């Protein structure tokens, strides 16, 4: 999930909680059942996204200014050929 979804998820969770609270207070059993069943996944997703956002923010705050810069691209160097004994061509002495 993206952190941009956090405000929308927070609004949906608060609105679902308000609907659930209102429906319980006024005796709307079906509405309270539906709102209560959707409230648990919304609250879990909101808490998870808040934890991820807090971890990212803490990681960004604790990282030094050097870690925030992107490293310059290193020039491409060719890899040496893999020379294992079983891949080397066999050399026979001419008789």
Q: Is the whole model's pTM more than 0.75, yes or no?
A: no
Nearest to 9 by CA among 43, 37, 34: 43
Confidence at 70, pLDDT banded by 50, 70, 90:
low
CA 61 to CA 59: how far, in whole Å? 5
Hey, which of 2-11, 21-30, 79-88 has the most confident mean pLDDT? 21-30
Length, in residues, of the chain: 95
Q: Taking the domains of the chain in order of start, what are their residue ranges? A: 3-68
């Amino acid at each position: 999930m993206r952190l941009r979804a956090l405000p929308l998820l927070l609004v949906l969770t608060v609105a679902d909680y308000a609907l659930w609270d209102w429906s319980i207070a006024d005796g709307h059993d079906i509405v309270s059942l539906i709102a209560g069943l959707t409230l648990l996944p919304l609250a879990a997703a909101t808490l998870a996204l808040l934890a991820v956002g807090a971890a990212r923010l803490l990681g960004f705050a604790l990282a030094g200014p050097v870690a925030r810069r992107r490293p310059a691209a290193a020039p491409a160097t060719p890899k040496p050929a893999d020379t294992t004994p079983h891949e080397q061509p066999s050399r026979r002495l001419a008789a």
